């Protein structure tokens, strides 16, 4: 067991290892020029790089290591399970004991009545599978035209072909010539951007619902199969919808026989301090997709939860065809599911949830004062899911600064201050490991404050004539 990493003592420049050609990377062009930092290990809320510098991890990996890094208990569960069963498929004539138990755990924690979980390996596969379930059941119900999906205009569902197709971000489509199939987009329920002067939450909700209904009618409800949404948008730069929006949306969708799929991949288990974002916004979706925190980031895992009615329809359809031909070699992998079960157990039984509730309020109290800062446009949070919108840099002599430049500068500065943050364009996002202490949150926020000071000073200097 390595000595416990301390994140407190960090000071210094983050330099990078030069030109790595050994592993493909999403920003290969950048690495060729600037090199890349190599991480050697993590523990708790800390990350250690190849120069033995430690950083505090304010986004729990990629919104996934809720249990904290390098937890001996979870590692031991994976080891013990692997020594009993290293692989057992969950296809055709068999399943495995390890997969059955987290499936039950998920059903117990879910916000409404759900059938057994369908295991996949990641969030993109979970969303792909949910889409195939919609197509399958509408074919089975004799409604083959009812296949279009409605999503928000900031939707982010990630990397497989279908999930990328459903994503609304141009850079996710551009290189690949996506979309391959049309997706119906409606405005994200983001009151900050959409509220008209003097409009109340209720009026805003009604206006959005009318707009969504008109869109559905224009498409023809008989061609619309599902609405896929993050109830609390994480990757969509932490959007907390006005209270009541999703309940109204669900009522509308039921009127037109359109399934509601809640993507809980970022917000499940739950930064928002409930089991799910669906619970936070008071809805009972027809399907829920989960991943990331399900195995606490330790091993690949994801799942689709579906209502018993959907399960029955799919079971009938697979009876006709002979199989529901969808699944992967590692679906329901014994070690991956054992870790998921251990995580679910710790999450609910051992109090991670109540911890997130209590410390989420502390994180909010620490971040809220930045709303007054000259470089900050907005601060918002729910539980451990928090966002700070930076004011984009003013137009410079060379023209307006591209969106995302302020975010990139802050993240770079924060790294040099010893905190790993992430930016979604100019929004800085926080989702600390659920095991964070008050002290850890103080360290994260204090270092963020230093980085904010750095970019603010840079701005002032840029504007000051020589
Ligand atoms: C909201 C949302 N859905 C789906 C995904 C895809 O998850 P994965 O990266 O596990 O495929 C992500 C990943 O960031 C996400 O944020």
Predicted confidence at residue 1, as pLDDT, reads 38
Longest dimension (CA), the chain: 77
Testing ligand 1's pocket by substitution, the residue of 127, 158, 166, 237 carrying the most ligand atoms inside 8 A of its CB is 158
Predicted confidence at residue 280, as pLDDT, reads 86
Distances 155 to 138, 291, 336 between C-alpha atoms, Å = 23, 17, 28
For range 79-105, the mean pLDDT: 89
Q: Are 312 and 267 in contact (CB under 8 A)?
A: no
Least confident of 2-11, 220-229, 246-255, 259-268: 2-11
Predicted confidence at residue 399, as pLDDT, reads 60
pTM: predicted TM-score of the whole model, two decimal places: 0.93
What distance in angstroms lies between residue 226's CA and the mean position of ligand 1's atoms?
19
Q: Are 28 and 19 in contact (CB under 8 A)?
A: no
In ligand 1, the atom with minimum distance to the C-alpha of 63 is 14
Establish whether residue 157 lines the binding site of ligand 1, counting it when its CB lies within 6 angstroms of any ligand atom.
yes
Least confident of 122-131, 246-255, 349-358: 349-358
Predicted confidence at residue 291, as pLDDT, reads 94
Establish whether residue 380 lines the binding site of ligand 1, counting it when its CB lies within 6 angstroms of any ligand atom.
no
Which residues lie below 8 Å from residue 294, measured CB to CB, with a gap of 6+? 102, 106, 268, 269, 301, 302, 303, 340, 343, 344
pLDDT above 60: residue 232: yes
Distances 363 to 42, 59, 88, 192, 432 between C-alpha atoms, Å = 22, 13, 42, 21, 9
pLDDT above 80: residue 45: yes
Predicted confidence at residue 350, as pLDDT, reads 61
Testing ligand 1's pocket by substitution, the residue of 59, 119, 123 carrying the most ligand atoms inside 8 A of its CB is 123
Testing ligand 1's pocket by substitution, the residue of 265, 301, 422, 424 carrying the most ligand atoms inside 8 A of its CB is 265
Closest CA to 401 of 464, 453, 458: 458
pLDDT above 60: residue 395: no
pLDDT above 80: residue 47: yes
Which residues lie below 8 Å from residue 92, measured CB to CB, with a gap of 6+? 323
Looking at domain 28-70+352-463, does it have CATH number 3.90.1150.10? Answer: yes
> How far, in Å, CA of 118 to CA of 348, rounded?
21
pLDDT above 50: residue 167: yes
Least confident of 165-169, 248-252, 350-354, 455-459: 350-354
Which residues lie below 8 Å from residue 231, measured CB to CB, with a gap of 6+? 241, 246, 262, 264, 267, 276, 277, 278, 280, 281, 283, 285
Q: Are 262 and 270 in contact (CB under 8 A)?
A: no
How do the domains of the chain map onto residue ranges? Answer: 28-70+352-463, 72-348
Tokens 């991956």 locate to: 336
Closest CA to 334 of 292, 304, 293, 295: 295
Q: Are strands 385-390 and 376-382 parallel, antiparallel or unpaired?
A: antiparallel
Closest CA to 117 of 125, 127, 105: 105
Q: Is the dihedral of CA 115, 121, 122, 123 positive or negative?
A: negative
Predicted confidence at residue 464, as pLDDT, reads 74
Residue 104 neighbours by CB distance under 10 Å: 13
Which residues make beta-bridge pairs with 388? 379, 428
Tokens of residue 456, six digits: 């603010």
Would you state the CATH architecture of domain 72-348?
3-Layer(aba) Sandwich (3.40)
pLDDT above 50: residue 11: no
Band (pLDDT 50/70/90 cuts) for residue 2 is very low
pLDDT digits (tens, 9 = 90+) for 268-307: 876 665 667 898 899 999 999 999 999 999 999 999 999 9
What distance in angstroms lies between residue 292's CA and the mean position of ligand 1's atoms?
8
In ligand 1, the atom with minimum distance to the C-alpha of 300 is 10
pLDDT above 70: residue 422: yes
What is the average pLDDT score of the chain?
A: 89
Nearest CA to ligand 1 atom 13: 158
Testing ligand 1's pocket by substitution, the residue of 162, 292, 300, 340 carrying the most ligand atoms inside 8 A of its CB is 292
For range 59-75, the mean pLDDT: 93
Which residues lie below 8 Å from residue 240, measured CB to CB, with a gap of 6+? 232, 380, 382
Establish whether residue 109 lines the binding site of ligand 1, counting it when its CB lies within 6 angstroms of any ligand atom.
no
Band (pLDDT 50/70/90 cuts) for residue 113 is confident
Q: Encode 385-409: b = buried (16+ Cβ within 10 Å), e = exposed.
A: bbbbbbebbeeeeeeebeeebbbeb
């Amino acid at each position: 067991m390595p000595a416990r990493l301390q994140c407190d003592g960090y000071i210094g420049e983050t330099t990078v290892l030069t030109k790595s050609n050994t592993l493909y990377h999403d920003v290969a062009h950048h690495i060729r020029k600037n090199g890349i930092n190599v991480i050697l290990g993590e523990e708790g809320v800390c990350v250690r790089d190849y120069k033995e510098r430690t950083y505090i991890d304010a986004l729990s990996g990629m919104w996934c290591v809720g249990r904290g890094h390098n937890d001996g208990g979870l590692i031991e569960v994976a080891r013990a399970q692997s020594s009993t069963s290293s692989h057992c498929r969950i296809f055709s004539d068999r399943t495995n004991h390890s997969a059955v138990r987290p499936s039950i755990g998920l059903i117990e924690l879910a916000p409404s009545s759900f059938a057994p979980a369908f295991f996949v390996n990641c969030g993109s596969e979970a969303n792909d599978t949910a889409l195939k379930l919609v197509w399958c059941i509408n074919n089975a119900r004799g409604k083959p035209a009812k296949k279009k999906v409605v999503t928000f205009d900031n939707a982010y569902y990630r990397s497989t072909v279908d999930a990328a197709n459903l994503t609304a971000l141009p850079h996710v489509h551009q290189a690949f010539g996506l979309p391959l199939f049309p997706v119906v987009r409606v405005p994200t329920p983001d009151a900050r951007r959409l509220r008209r002067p003097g409009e109340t939450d209720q009026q805003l909700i009604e206006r959005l619902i009318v707009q969504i209904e008109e869109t559905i009618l224009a498409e023809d409800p008989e061609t619309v199969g599902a609405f896929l949404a993050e109830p609390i948008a994480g990757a969509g730069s932490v959007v907390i919808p006005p209270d009541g929006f999703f309940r109204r949306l669900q009522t509308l969708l039921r009127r037109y026989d359109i399934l509601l799929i809640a993507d809980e991949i970022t917000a499940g288990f739950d930064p928002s301090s409930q089991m799910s974002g669906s619970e936070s916004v008071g809805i009972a979706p027809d399907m829920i997709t989960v991943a990331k925190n399900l195995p606490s980031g330790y091993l690949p895992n994801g799942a689709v939860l579906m209502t018993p009615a959907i399960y029955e329809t799919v079971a009938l359809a697979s009876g006709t065809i002979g199989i529901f031909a969808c699944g992967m070699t590692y679906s329901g992998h014994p070690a991956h599911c054992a870790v998921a079960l251990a995580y679910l157990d710790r999450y609910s039984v051992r109090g991670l949830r109540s911890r997130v509730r209590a410390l989420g309020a502390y994180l909010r109290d620490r971040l809220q004062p930045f709303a007054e800062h000259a470089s900050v446009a907005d601060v918002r949070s729910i539980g451990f899911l928090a966002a700070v919108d930076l004011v984009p840099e003013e137009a410079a002599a060379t023209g307006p600064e591209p969106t995302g430049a302020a975010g990139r500068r802050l993240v770079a500065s924060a790294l040099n201050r010893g905190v790993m943050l992430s930016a979604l364009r100019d929004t800085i996002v926080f989702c600390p490991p659920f095991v964070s202490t008050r002290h850890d949150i103080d360290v994260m926020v204090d270092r963020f404050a230093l980085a904010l000071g750095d970019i603010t000073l840079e701005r002032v200097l840029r504007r000051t004539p020589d």
